[in-house]
Amino acid sequence: MQPAQFIPRHKPALVWVTTTNSATVGIAQPRIEDDTLRGMWAGSQRPVAIPLSGVQSMQARAPSPTRTAILVGTLGLVAGGTIWFIVQKNSGPAGPEYCVDPTNEDC
């Protein structure tokens, strides 16, 4: 997807642009105005403008529904396992065991 379509559709907070002269630039608050990518230099409040014809590639961080589902599932399993362990540990005999048959050698 081209930057001119990607940025308005996904509204990323930060993009990394590789220009046609192989420079990599971080741009915060990116927006498209006419045929120019505008925003702020990442980490500063200085404005930056790059003609779209000078953009070789662009990367943006995006959420991953699959990784989020795996994380939530793993956390659920860990929480469930912890609760099960605590319940099993606390469901044993209430007090010390006593032998009622003193003739039994296992007592």
- What are 42-86's pLDDT values in tens digits? 988 899 999 999 999 999 887 788 989 999 999 999 999 999 888
Structure tokens at 48: 């930056």
- For residues 60 and 10, the answer to whether their CB atoms sit within 8 Å is yes
Q: If 0-12 CB within 10 Å is exposed, 13-18 middle and 19+ buried, where does residue 30 land?
A: buried
Q: Tell whether 72 and 48 lie within a shared domain.
A: no
Q: What is the pTM of this model?
A: 0.57
| 83 & 52 share domain | no
89 domain-assigned: yes
Looking at the 3D structure of the chain, how many domains does it have?
A: 2
- Inside any domain, residue 105: no
Distance, CA of 96 to CA of 79 (rounded, Å): 30
Please report the pLDDT score of residue 93 as a whole number: 58
Above 90 in pLDDT, residue 103? no
For the chain, report the end-to-end CA distance as a whole number of angstroms: 77
Domain match, 7 and 55 both: yes
